[in-house]
Amino acid sequence: MPDWTALKECGLFDALSESGREQFLPPGIFYWSGRAKKEADINATIGSAWGPAGEIGQQGASTTFYLPSLHTGFAGISPEQVFSYAPILGVASFRQTWREWILEKCRPSGRELADLISTPAVASGITGGIASVAGLFVTPGESITLPDRYWGNYNNVLVRNIGARITTYPFYDGKDFNVAAMKTAVDESLASQGKAVVLLNFPNNPTGFTPTAATAQQIAQALEQSAVESGKWVIAMCDDAYEGFTYTRDCLQHSIFAEIAGKRGVLAVKLDGISKEFLWYGGRVGCITFAVPETMVPRKDLVTGELEEKLSAVIRSSISNCNHPVQEIVADGIRDKLGALLAERARVIDVLAKRWEVYNREMEKADLAVLKPLASNSGFFALVDLVSAKAEEVAEILMTTHRVGVVPIAASGRQSLRIAFCSVPQENIPKMVDAVFAAAAEASRR
């Protein structure tokens, strides 16, 4: 087992979970296959069929064997890029290209991040990335700090699978993010355990809210202050699933990762991917990127290298590796067609922005004695709180009487409806909102 010198010297080793401290990739198949690729004339290490293309009735040099009929859907990339295993941490060209893409996305922050961030590791979507990182840092029974408005699947990933406890604080302070409540919750976590693990999700699911740039800077400063005052690490996980989908100029236009990266005592972790950013939901390619404090820049490669070694063990022991051809296609797209991709995505964002505007205009008519729309400015969703009705009852009325589907949420003592305006054509939004009003009013009278 490696001795993890860099992680121990900077104190991050102590911030790992019990499982995370034990993770390492043993010198088995991948060690020997790596050597064989460089040193051997006959490679009998890889568990995939490989040989001269002529042996399977195809033209060209030696290749991973494949079914030619399946390759027709990936014209323009080689069979080797389609059918062979991807490396555990991802295809090298994709990882480097995604790193450059992160730097480009964060450039409007005005901060230079190149010296702070690792080369992204590939996960099975952002969900897989969250599970991998949480498993590294959270021992069962330890807490992860979240606002009280959060994606319901965190319960499955973090509580049921990892064994963590979720501790929450109020998301909103009026119509802004509640920085003070977050800091109090982080400080309480630091007082009760050896580190704090914080998960931030902007644009937020389910609220559709992103703080302003000024508030984002306050969040970053608060996390740094908590870490410095306690002398313990703060692990700040940034779930950036909906990055780029912002509809007002006053909200933060880039990931909050750019504000948190480099802060003293804070390990920032960016979790992003192609599902929403490039509208390839079934591609299941997410990325995990670490940013060290500025004080650790001289040792960044050593520290992040050891973290990646541990990630390799987690990924190898769970999903093994991720979708190879999707990584190749996205890497080529970012490298050669980024302008076209962004123009195509901008059209989608414009459509969603117009839906968001119509939704908010219609919601201004709400009877506040029945329901209360919450502040939103981004993402795919909006949230309303019900004053007295039960969320599931309202959702049932909407489904059976109005043929409108929404997601009921009963959490933190509240009854709410998550409304995905992203999937509702603009002309149908007024009808949908009217149905929500009617169903909420009916349920409130019962």
Would you state the pLDDT for residue 312?
Answer: 94
Q: What is the token pair recorded at 422?
A: 């992203």
Residue linked to tokens 């404090």: 293
Greatest mean pLDDT among 26-30, 67-71, 229-233, 344-348: 229-233
3-class DSSP state of 172: strand
Backbone angles phi, psi at 152, to 5 degrees: -60, -30
Pairing of strands 407-411, 414-419: antiparallel
Checking if the pLDDT of 244 tops 80, the result is: yes
With a threshold of 0.75, does the pTM exceed it? yes
CA distances from 301 to 27, 105, 162, 371 (A): 21, 22, 28, 51
DSSP category for residue 299: G
Lowest mean pLDDT among 32-41, 168-177, 435-444: 32-41
Q: What is the token pair recorded at 201?
A: 């999700």
DSSP category for residue 50: E
Delineate the domains of the chain, giving CATH numbers in brackets.
92-322 (3.40.640.10), 345-445 (3.90.1150.10)
Secondary structure, 3-state, 287-345:
EEEEECCHHHHHHHHHHHHHHHHHHHHHHHCCCCCCCHHHHHHHHHHHHHHHHHHHHHH
CA atoms within 13 A on the CB side of 176: 14
Interval 295-335: pLDDT, tens: 999 999 999 999 999 999 999 999 889 999 999 999 998 99
Beta bridge partners of 234: 196, 266
Interval 52-77: pLDDT, tens: 888 778 888 888 777 676 667 677 88
| Identity at 249, one-letter amino acid code | R
Would you state the pLDDT for residue 32?
Answer: 62
